[in-house]
Amino acid sequence: MTFESTIIVHGGARTVNTDDRDLFQDGVKAAARQGYTVLTRGGSAVDAVVAAVSAMEDDSTLNAGHGSRLTMRGEVEVDAIVIDGQTLDSGAVCALRGCANPVQLARLVMDKLATERTRAELQQHFEMSSSERSASIPQQVCDTVGAVAMDAYGNLAAATSTGGITAKLPGRVGDSPIIGSGAYADNTVGAVSTTGQGEFIMKVCLARRVGELLEKGWNCRNRN
């Protein structure tokens, strides 16, 4: 059976100024196109969400990767997670410094864990020092970014990436890299990527909670 390839992305729940709205929408749409292209070329749902989130990490207007907010020390620390709905495998990274695409590192953690080869690959992703990135970060940025996808085989995946809240304490880890809070995916249930105040999301394991509601027949189109 062939399924209709689908991807949904979000650039965060934060209110965006009217003057900046087009920039944010352009970034999110470009990420969706990039992820969908992966699907149409036979890529997996995991490939697609990583591609889409990577695109948003590369967009300095969004709060992930290059556009991440600064900690109280004026540094960048990023979190990310990837979940494979077919196998329930997952990978996550948190409080990373000098990392341009944390979602790709999370993918490596999921696929290969900590081998010598993986450590060499991880090092390649630390392309920019915190000082170099901090100098190019705009003052107005959006919130956590994420994506969910279904590939032609019906497999689901979810990914979430963030730079965290503005002026956070160094080492602070929010909901994004936490399985069941920042993201969740299960082929038998659905795929979820969350955004919002991490401390509150973690209290209820929001992504998994949504999954439980889907299992009970909850319709996303009718929240009542």
Full-model pTM: 0.86
Task: For residues 163 and 199, give the distance between their C-alpha atoms in angstroms, rounded to a whole number.
Answer: 15
Give every CB contact of residue 2 below 8 A, 6+ residues apart in sequence.
152, 153
- Any known ligand binding at 34? no
pLDDT of res. 139: 43
Task: List, for the chain, all residue ranges whose pLDDT scores fall below the cut of 70.
Answer: 114-142, 222-224
Catalytic residues: 144
- Any known ligand binding at 86? no
pLDDT of res. 120: 66
- Any known ligand binding at 198? yes
Q: What is the pLDDT of residues 43-60, one digit of tens each?
A: 999 999 999 999 999 998
Q: What is the pLDDT of residues 133-159, one digit of tens each?
A: 444 444 444 479 999 999 999 999 999
